[in-house]
Amino acid sequence: MLAVGVVSHGDRHLGKEATQEGLMKKFAVVAGFLVALVAGSRSSFATIRTWRFSGSVCQAIASSRLQVEYNQYGVFNTGSTLATVICPLPLNNATSSLESMTNMLAVIVYNRSNTTNLTCTLLETDTTGGTVLFSQSMSLSPLGPGSSSRQFLFDPSSAGGAITGVWSLQCNLPAVQSGDFSIVSAITVQTTY
């Protein structure tokens, strides 16, 4: 193997090959260094993870079970009174560092009532469920039968810090109106780590 810049026996062609080989080695060393630098400092870059849930993950509380149904559009109220559903948000921590709920939580809903607001509350509780660590509510005014979807955009950044508790969404769905249902259709959560 020849070193860079060494020309043996006056052969210019051999020196050119040696120079190219040396440049390739330098390039490989620099590229390896950059890969090691980026891999070693991964923790300094924030990674965003997006979680998507159908409204069908939501479960009716005991008093609402007989009037809540599910389909490809999510969870909806078929009864003549307000129904309450709780949507667990199973945000697991797949990394060695704790994730942070700092970006956003979006909920797609339909309020097809003429008289009642559709409300959702984002909750973080301790692992026993006994202490509320964070709570934020949003409400959608009645839009009537045939109305299109709307989006709640929650800002959980004020919860501060890592996801240490249990997150859920609790929604109150208005009664069926002229055969049209109020629906929790989809939930999107973005976390960073």
The tens digit of pLDDT for each residue in 72-118 reads: 999 999 999 999 999 998 765 544 455 565 567 899 999 999 999 99
Cα atoms in the Cβ-side hemisphere of radius 13 Å centred on 81: 5
- pTM greater than the 0.85 cutoff: no
Domain tally, the chain: 2
One domain, residues 76 and 158: yes
Residues 128 and 173 in one domain: yes
Same-domain pairing of 38 and 55: no
The answer on 98 and 4 residing in a single domain is: no
* Claim to verify: residue 24 and residue 75 sit in the same structural domain: no
Same domain, 30 and 58: no
Parallel, antiparallel or unpaired: strands 150-154 and 74-77: unpaired
Both 103 and 168 in one domain: the answer is yes
How far is 172 from 70, CA to CA, in rounded Å?
15
Residues 18 and 72 in one domain: no
Q: Which domain holds residue 5?
A: 1-45
Helix (H) or strand (E) holding 189: strand 183-192
Tens of pLDDT along 15-68? 444 455 554 554 444 444 434 444 444 445 667 888 899 999 999 999 999 999
Note the Cα 92 to chain centre separation in Å.
Answer: 11
User: Alpha carbon 160 to chain centroid distance?
Assistant: 16
Is residue 173 located within the same domain as residue 80? yes
